[in-house]
Chains A and B, each alone.
Chain A
């Protein structure tokens, strides 16, 4: 599903953000990527989204070499990868329904499909009643649930979550993790980048640890020790 073969990424100046990273993630897995700030976790997400190009190595998603995905084909590629950010990145001038519907509009779904699917997604994330609210009228946890609904609505095979609980209190953090776990149980591959060790320990999933740009450990939930 996701394969990184000896991937390195250097920015113009300084040390490489990622160095010789090799990771394999199978379909339907739930994986945590952990590490300190500046360890290269976000660079990894940006490489997987094809926002950045690796300096060395190859990345395969669903068997597709990302190097061969041209600028024109990037939209089609990204439609198979749902993304959730720490700061939610919702459109502030649109309500909950419009934010989720927007993701379907982008892929040119019909109005009928949108009307059918968006309420289902909002029910899944527990926000059906707040479909008219603007992001500014929601709590952080609710905003993140909208972001998850938006990431899920086009039924991607992979969800990439970059510090999805970074701006949330403890209650909301658990709610979001439960939601991501449920999504994973439905068959979606979930990759969560975080530095919240509490949730990593509690969720008991595979953990990849990155330190100064290199993978220092890659273990199953039972074997993880921080």
Chain B
């Protein structure tokens, strides 16, 4: 196709949007509603997942060593731990450090109470590695590996916390996936219906084009431009709305429920939108493009 024909088709596509104002508005409104809902669920899901992740980061596995183990072996165990994919990071806590931390926590107000133990560290055998995981669902695998290591006396783990967090994470993933799939199916259905109505109104125009020798691509182009334009608007509008609503809700929640700030932290609007913008634009444009192409297909067999 010539460049002038492309320009003509783009112009015709945009004119079609205006000529079919009501259908265009209906399509844009449908897409706006679907992508808006998608955005809400995406934001909620991502925030929940981030909260669970934060909680997971606090879950640690502690490894204690056999009595009289050499520092060499402790370092070797450290190296083994480092190599594991399950491990996000780990700290070595020496017996002295462990006792110091204990004193701070329990004898903070009465340091005299700890004086009796000055020459004899009661936690002499409590040197340990504190291991934080990438994903708590991997905890059992790591624990059985650690328990099998030579020189390891005991592995402490928070089984209940890990299981609860894993279950919550799974539930959030399943629920948000299901909602997103349902929303996508609904939007494809609604949009292709709207496009179909728009096209059947212009069946005569398509038939005339075909009878005077228009190629399929020429007939299709304005409809595809129209679909993409509607898709673009139908995704930009909900994105703008979501941006302001999300920002306001997060600010409001952080101010009003300040006491929750230790437990709950929201993902900043910029982070959410870094993913949400391309997904929504692709969804909008993709649905518009596919909808117009698929719906037009049967009208072109003339």
A75 touching B208 in the complex, CB below 8 Å, given contacts A108-B5, A110-B4, A111-B4: no
Q: How far is the CA of A62 from the CA of B297 in the complex (A)?
A: 30
A108 touching B1 in the complex, CB below 8 Å, given contacts A89-B204, A91-B205: yes
A154 touching B213 in the complex, CB below 8 Å, given contacts A89-B204, A108-B5, A110-B4: yes
User: Are B1 and A78 neighbours in the complex by a CB distance under 8 Å?
Assistant: no
CB-CB contacts of B200-242 with A at 8 A, as 1s and 0s?
Answer: 0000110111111111101000000000000000000000000
Determine if A103 is an interface residue (Cβ-Cβ < 8 Å).
Answer: yes
Q: How far is the CA of A79 from the CA of B210 in the complex (A)?
A: 10
Determine if A105 is an interface residue (Cβ-Cβ < 8 Å).
Answer: yes
Query: Majority SS of interface residues in chain B?
Result: helix
Determine if A76 is an interface residue (Cβ-Cβ < 8 Å).
Answer: yes
User: Are B302 and A150 neighbours in the complex by a CB distance under 8 Å?
Assistant: no
User: Are A76 and B208 neighbours in the complex by a CB distance under 8 Å?
Assistant: no
User: Are A93 and B19 neighbours in the complex by a CB distance under 8 Å?
Assistant: yes
Question: Chain A residues with Cβ under 8 A from B216's Cβ?
Answer: 75
Determine if A12 is an interface residue (Cβ-Cβ < 8 Å).
Answer: no
Total number of A residues with any Cβ neighbor in B under 8 Å: 24
Residue from A78, A91, A108 in contact with B211 in the complex, judged by beta carbons closer than 8 Å: A78
User: Are A106 and B218 neighbours in the complex by a CB distance under 8 Å?
Assistant: yes
User: Are B2 and A108 neighbours in the complex by a CB distance under 8 Å?
Assistant: yes
Question: Chain A residues with Cβ under 8 A from B1's Cβ?
Answer: 108
User: Closest residue of chain A to B15, judged by CB?
Assistant: A93
Question: Chain A residues with Cβ under 8 A from B107's Cβ?
Answer: none
User: Are A105 and B8 neighbours in the complex by a CB distance under 8 Å?
Assistant: yes
Q: How far is the CA of A74 from the CA of B209 in the complex (A)?
A: 12
Question: Chain B residues with Cβ under 8 A from A124's Cβ?
Answer: none
Minimum CB–CB distance for A11 against chain B, Å: 16
Residue from B5, B19, B205, B208 in contact with A105 in the complex, judged by beta carbons closer than 8 Å: B5
User: Are B213 and A76 neighbours in the complex by a CB distance under 8 Å?
Assistant: yes
Determine if A83 is an interface residue (Cβ-Cβ < 8 Å).
Answer: yes
User: Closest residue of chain B to A81, judged by CB?
Assistant: B213
A78 touching B213 in the complex, CB below 8 Å, given contacts A91-B205, A108-B1: yes
Minimum CB–CB distance for A25 against chain B, Å: 20
Determine if B115 is an interface residue (Cβ-Cβ < 8 Å).
Answer: no
Determine if B301 is an interface residue (Cβ-Cβ < 8 Å).
Answer: yes
Q: In residues 10-61 of chain A, which contact B (Cβ within 8 Å)?
A: 49, 51
User: Are A78 and B212 neighbours in the complex by a CB distance under 8 Å?
Assistant: yes
Total number of B residues with any Cβ neighbor in A under 8 Å: 21
Determine if A107 is an interface residue (Cβ-Cβ < 8 Å).
Answer: yes
User: Closest residue of chain B to A49, judged by CB?
Assistant: B211
User: Closest residue of chain B to A87, judged by CB?
Assistant: B204
A75 touching B215 in the complex, CB below 8 Å, given contacts A51-B302, A106-B209: yes
Minimum CB–CB distance for B177 against chain A, Å: 41
Determine if A71 is an interface residue (Cβ-Cβ < 8 Å).
Answer: yes
User: Are A107 and B8 neighbours in the complex by a CB distance under 8 Å?
Assistant: no
Question: Chain A residues with Cβ under 8 A from B2's Cβ?
Answer: 108, 110
User: Are A106 and B19 neighbours in the complex by a CB distance under 8 Å?
Assistant: no
Question: Chain A residues with Cβ under 8 A from B207's Cβ?
Answer: 89
User: Closest residue of chain A to B212, judged by CB?
Assistant: A103
A83 touching B4 in the complex, CB below 8 Å, given contacts A71-B301, A89-B204, A93-B19: no
Q: How far is the CA of A107 from the CA of B211 in the complex (A)?
A: 12
Question: Chain A residues with Cβ under 8 A from B209's Cβ?
Answer: 106
- 9 A–B pairs (Cβ distance < 8 Å), ordered by A: A51-B211, A75-B210, A78-B211, A93-B19, A103-B212, A108-B218, A110-B4, A111-B4, A150-B212
Known: A83-B212, A106-B209, A106-B218. 5 other contacts (CB 8 A): A51-B211, A77-B213, A78-B211, A89-B208, A108-B218
Q: Which 9 A-B pairs have the closest CB atoms?
A: A79-B213, A78-B213, A106-B214, A75-B215, A75-B213, A103-B212, A108-B5, A89-B208, A108-B2
